[in-house]
A and B are shown apart, each in its own frame.
Chain A
Amino acid sequence: MGRIVLVIRLALRDLRRRRTEAALLLIAVLASTTTLTLGLVLRDAASDPYQSTRAATKGPDVVAGVSQADDLAELGKLAIASGVTEHSGPYPVIAAKLEASGRTSDVQVEGRDAADAAVDQPEVTQGSWVGDGGVVLEAAFADSLDVGVGDSVALDGRSFKVVGVAVTAAMPPYPGASCIVSAGCINGAIPDDRNLPAGLLYKPGLAWLTQADVLSLAMDRSALSYVMNLKLADPDEAQAFVDRNGGHYGGAMPMQTWESILADATDLARDSQILLLIGAWLLGLLAVASLSVLVGGRIADQTRRIGLLKAVGGTPGLVAAVLLAEYLLVAVVAAAAGLTIGALTAPLLTESSAGLVGGAGTASLTWSTIGLVTAVALGVAVVATAVPAVRAARSSTVSALADAARPPRRTGWLISLSARLPVPLLLALRVAARRPRRVVLGVVSIAVTVSGIYVLLVLNAFLGEQPGTGAYTEDQVAVLRRVLLVWTVILLSLAAVNAIVITWATALDNRYASALARALGATPQEVTVALATAQVLPAFLGAVLGVFPGGFLLFAAINTITGGDGDKATLPAPWQLVALVLATVLVVAALTSVPAHLGGRRPVTATL
Chain B
Amino acid sequence: MGKFRKSGKKELPPVSTASLPDIVFMLLFFFMVSTTMKEVELKINIKVPQASQIKKLEKKSLVSYIYVGEPQKQFVRTMGTEPRIQLNDQFSEVSDIGSYIEEERGKLDEAERPLLTTSLKVDEKTKMGIVTDIKQQLRRVSALKINYSTRKSSKEE
A binds B: no
Task: Give A contacts to B, CB under 8 Å.
Answer: none
